[in-house]
Amino acid sequence: MKELIKELVESYGPAGFENEITTKISELVKDYVDEVYTDKLGNLIAHKKGTGKKIMFSAHADEIGVVVTFIDKNGFLRFSNVGGLNPLTLLGNRVRFQNGTIGVIGKEKGELKDLAIDKMYIDIGAESEKEAKEKVSIGDFAIIHREFADLGNRVIGKSMDDRIGCVVLIEALRRLNHSEHDLYFVFSAQEEVGLRGARTAAYDIDPDLGIALDVTLTGDTPKAHTMAVELGKGAAIKVKDASVITHPKVKDLLIKLAEDNKIDYQLEVLEFGGTDAGAIHLTKTGVPSGAISIPCRYVHTASEMVDVRDVENCVKLVLALVQDPISEI
């Protein structure tokens, strides 16, 4: 599973430009489903047909990034964020454009406490505006450039949010022997800029049940924000976040399945942020929805950390769900 994580997290795929990562995922899952297709917004949808409940799982394929807004006479690039970025986590980091061009993020003079994206720039080594424009253009998107690292039970990489959710769905498909349900595994587009792909995919699929797979924050680092989620303590079953209150029947079912199958789990109350479940549950007349979350430290930085034991428990919980009759929802 670590090789799969490495392959996905090191891939290029900022919001709106998910094609490289969804093409890879399509090749990985095509032999385990009845059909794979990409919709008009760029969502990759893997459909395993069944006669039971129509279940939509959604893990977003996109990642945070930056977009070039201006190139000055000396070849420095001004940029804007694509998704949520903290300027302090950007300074000194490298970025990679789709064509392979590498740059480093620097800042103007001033105090770090006053740092803002409009006071920062990308240096691609160009010595003039002309040279810079031979490498990049206004409107080009870049991702944070950082390699995967294996620390044992814990692994680090950029875009664990939410390639690790994609890994959970891919692994579940690989291991799934049988389910009576009609299963849609969605690798959604543009989650980082407003849950956009999940919204259109859910409208088309019209599921009976929606489950997002995404990372969540933890409260287990020194003087962290108080939160009852820790690395290595199991799959996190979402109770609520800023985008959704998990349907009580969905929450109770996930808890029961975890306990019945001896799957390590913890309950997640996220005070801010959201997942694809926030879009899915508001589709048409409403969809009972929830989320299985992967605990993650340092979210929206170049070095997001997860525990592979938590990932494994999330896979087991997805499999337990699709093999349950789900008679109460």
**Are 124 and 101 in contact, with CB atoms under 8 Å apart?**
yes
Is 191 one of the catalytic residues? yes
Find the catalytic residue in 18, 63, 191, 268: 191
* DSSP H or E segment with residue 321: helix 308-322
**Are 311 and 168 in contact, with CB atoms under 8 Å apart?**
yes
Supply angle C-alpha 214, 246, 322, rounded to 5: 65
The span from the CA of 305 to the CA of 147, in Å, is 12
**Are 203 and 186 in contact, with CB atoms under 8 Å apart?**
no
Q: Which CA distances in Å does 206 have to 68, 245, 311?
A: 37, 19, 28
**Are 209 and 52 in contact, with CB atoms under 8 Å apart?**
no
For the chain, the residue count is 329
3-state secondary structure of 143: strand
Residues annotated catalytic, as ranges: 191
